[in-house]
Amino acid sequence: MHEFINRDSVLRRVARSVGLSEQISATLADMVGAALPGVAKATQVVGGLLYGQAKKAVARHRTLSECEILGDLLDADADFETLSYLPYLLAWELDRLPQPRVRAMVLLDTFEEVTSRSTRDLERWLQRSVFLMPNVLFVITGLGLKRS
C-alpha cells in the first residue's frame, strides 16, 4: 500500500496531508478486531511466545559462546567426572555479576573425614573445586592431632 501511494507524487502529497496510510491501517485493524475478536488476542499471545523463545535462544547462544566448557558439559554424560566441573560454572557465574561482586566463602570442618575415606574421590573433588573456583574463599579446618 505504501509503495503504491509513494509512486505517484500527487497522490503521495495528498495522502500525507490527510494521513491516508494511517487511516487505512487503523480501519483494517478495526475490521479485523471486530470481525475476528479472538484472532487479535491469539496473535498477541503467539507473538509473545515467539518473542520469549527467541530471547531464550539468544541468551543460550550468548552463554554458550562466553563460557568455554559449558557446551562440552552439556554434551557429556552426567557422571561423577562431568559433575565435578559444576563448581567452574558457579565461579563463572559469580565472575559475571556486576560490581560490587558477591563474595562467596566455603567453610569445611573436619577435613579428616575427607581424607579418611577408603577412596580418594571426595578429596579429588574438593581439590578440583578449589582449583576451579579461584574467586571463592575456601576455609578448610580439622580437629588436629590428638595427643595421648
pLDDT in tens, 74-93: 888 888 778 888 888 888 88
Q: pLDDT tens-digit profile of 24-76?
A: 777 766 766 666 666 666 777 777 777 777 778 887 888 888 888 888 888 88
For residue 8, what pLDDT is reported?
Answer: 62
The per-residue pLDDT for range 122-148, each reduced to its tens digit, is 888 888 888 888 888 888 887 765 555
Give Cα separations from 132 to 57, 64, 85, 129, 136 (angstroms).
27, 18, 8, 5, 9
Q: Which class for 52: exposed (0-12), middle (13-18), buried (19 or more C-beta within 10 A)? A: exposed
Predicted local distance difference test score (pLDDT) of residue 18: 67
For residue 96, the Cα-to-chain-centroid distance in whole angstroms is 12
Helix, strand or coil, per DSSP, at residue 42? helix
Size of the chain, expressed as the number of residues it contains: 148
Other C-beta atoms closer than 10 Å to the C-beta of 36 total 12
